[in-house]
Amino acid sequence: MENQSAIEVKGGVPTYGGRYVLYNVLGHLFELSSNYVPPIRPLGRGAYGIGCCATNLETKEEVAIKRIGNAFDNRIDAKRTLREIKFLCHMDHENIIKIKDILRPPAKEEFNDVYIAHELMETDLHQIICSSQALTEDHCQYFLYQLLRGLKYIHSANVLHRDLKPSNLLLNANCDLRICDFGLARTTSDTDFMTEYVVTRWYRAPELLLNCSEYTAAIDIWSVGCILMEILLREPLFPVVRFPGRFRSWICKE
């Protein structure tokens, strides 16, 4: 039993009487439940969190754990975190990433970081596009089919994703695709003002570039078209930094 405990905390520092273990992942501290054990490997960093992978001691399953640091410091980031958890907990589709666990904080008074465990995928579409990996027509069709299939499910629930881009499309070795990052998603029935500052600029639909405050699920379809062309071209379709201004000038000329 002592040997098992030594394995569990290898590479980390036990906290809260051994109920949690503190790991240093690329200079970022992950305080994980002792139910998640090494090997702990970094998975990369996004705008709203950093990820690592660990093994669930009970299920023996390797999972990805996303850490959202200081999630409650400002209202916008807190709402984004809540949105992602809310939507992913309610969705059940093979082309949408699945939440495996939401780690409980060790103490309520120190609840600053949110840890979300979800199924582990090997890479994302952005990494594949930027690599030297050959992509056949079958690859392109299969990626597009899965993306549209997952998006149909999302839209059927009256939800807009609002941030579709290659880095938010996760892939495994079998080319299975999962849509992730629902931090900007919202329901079409929301009565709140619909902000136009959504979707990464290269994948942003014309109505968003023109600062329209009301829009439909068509904004996600535009993003899908941009992603498809990026797969085929192996580069972004609209990589223009000042694209909104140029787009307005084109419209005015017409």
Which one-letter DSSP state was computed for residue 229?
Answer: H
Cβ neighbours of 101 (radius 10 Å): 16
So which residues are the catalytic ones?
163
CA pair distance 184, 163, nearest whole angstrom: 6
Cα 66 to Cα 49: distance, rounded to the nearest angstrom: 6
CB atoms closer than 10 angstroms to residue 66:
21
Task: Provide the token pair at 175.
Answer: 């080319």
Q: Which residues contact residue 150 at a Cβ distance below 8 angstroms, ignoring those fewer than 6 apart?
A: 93, 95, 96, 177, 178, 179
Q: Round to whole Å and give the CA distance between 96 and 199.
A: 18
